[in-house]
């Protein structure tokens, strides 16, 4: 069976309440090759090292050594490539995973990588930053009980959250809650960074991964449920009467991304609407 076929088959007819168990069992049987890209996202490295510098500088104008806090809610943590990369770029980074096996794998991997990180893997400019920490936390994104393990309190929330292959892994009926949870976890001036994938897949085909073209805009800018039957025309993705929980700061095609995006991946950067 092809890799997409294996994943589809595993999740076929699985209810919302059984989704987390579905992912954990794939980790237990060593099937993370179905989605593990083997390296941190080149598009996220470029964002952090170039464009993002202005955004982060605004956030911490007065204290260049003060750390920013980042949540990587699923990048699976697999091995936590982005968690390590962000720590090397001055963030106190937290990888959240619902599977305890992943948390153990990620902790061990991070320890070995942080000893002598390869610049071609984690970004050329990482040595310009005061190193932060790489942390891995067990928890369900939709529950609150893990937040204290990331030092989350009333005003102290995340400066940056990165999402890649998390939204597309969720059942469509979970998308609205994903958007509200993102809003809940970010500081008012924080940013949600989405590497939008898969944009080449139509809305009628089953997932995971579920096709997401137009879904981020519908959920975050328009405040709708993100369940689309067709991709809205670009012209309808603008407007002044937007009631969603986020404002899109920028939307661009990254110079570099994974092959699995088939050249269609987009980066979108969002700030909680005030």
Ligand X SMILES: C[S@@+](CC[C@H](N)C(=O)[O-])C[C@H]1O[C@@H](n2cnc3c(N)ncnc32)[C@H](O)[C@@H]1O
The edge-to-edge listing of strands for the beta sheet with 266-272 is 134-138, 91-97, 68-72, 158-163, 186-196, 266-272, 246-252
Lookup: tokens for 76:
């699976």
Instruction: Supply the minimum distance, in Å, between the C-beta of residue 78 and ligand X.
Output: 4
Binding of ligand X by 37 (CB under 6 A): yes
**23 lies in the binding site for ligand X (CB under 6 A):** yes
End-to-end C-alpha distance for the chain, whole angstroms: 48
Tell which one of 6, 8, 10, 20 touches ligand X (CB under 6 A): 20
Q: How far is the CB of 69 from ligand X (least distance, A)?
A: 18
Dmax (CA) of the chain: 55
Per CB under 6 A, 142 contacts ligand X = yes
CA 58 to chain centre: 22
Q: How far is the CB of 160 from ligand X (least distance, A)?
A: 16
Size of the residue set binding ligand X (CB under 6 A) = 22
Give the residue with the Cβ less far from ligand X, 88 or 106. 106
- The answer to whether 136 contacts ligand X (rule: CB under 6 A) is no
129 binds ligand X (CB under 6 A): no
Q: Which stretch binds ligand X (CB under 6 A): 34-42, 182-190, 220-228, 248-256?
A: 34-42
Instruction: Rule CB under 6 A: say whether 164 interacts with ligand X.
Output: yes
Binding site for ligand X (CB under 6 A): 19-20, 23, 35-37, 74-76, 78, 96-99, 102, 140-142, 164-166, 169
């Amino acid at each position: 069976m092809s890799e997409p076929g294996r994943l589809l088959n595993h999740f076929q007819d699985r209810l919302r309440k059984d989704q987390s168990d579905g992912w954990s069992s794939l980790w237990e049987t060593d099937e993370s090759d179905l989605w593990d890209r083997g390296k941190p996202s080149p598009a996220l490295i470029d964002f952090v090292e170039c464009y993002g510098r202005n955004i982060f500088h605004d956030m911490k104008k007065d204290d260049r050594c003060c750390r920013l806090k980042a949540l990587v809610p699923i990048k699976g943590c697999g091995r936590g490539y982005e968690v390590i990369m962000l720590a090397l770029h001055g963030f106190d980074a937290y990888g959240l995973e619902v599977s305890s096996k992943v948390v153990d794998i990620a902790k061990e991997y991070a320890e070995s990588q942080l000893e002598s990180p390869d610049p071609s893997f984690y970004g050329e400019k990482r040595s310009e930053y005061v190193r932060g920490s790489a942390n891995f936390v067990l928890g369900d994104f939709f529950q609150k009980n893990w937040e204290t393990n990331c030092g989350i309190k009333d005003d102290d929330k995340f400066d940056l959250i990165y999402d890649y292959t998390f939204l597309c892994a969720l059942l469509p009926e979970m998308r609205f809650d994903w958007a509200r949870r993102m809003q809940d976890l970010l500081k008012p001036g924080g940013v949600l960074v989405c590497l939008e994938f898969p944009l080449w897949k139509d809305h009628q085909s089953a997932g995971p991964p579920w096709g997401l073209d137009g879904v981020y805009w519908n959920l975050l800018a328009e405040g709708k449920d993100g369940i689309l039957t067709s991709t809205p025309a670009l012209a309808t993705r603008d407007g002044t009467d937007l009631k969603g929980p986020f404002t899109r700061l920028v939307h661009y095609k990254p110079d570099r991304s994974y092959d699995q995006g088939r050249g269609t991946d987009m980066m979108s950067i969002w700030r909680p609407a005030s």
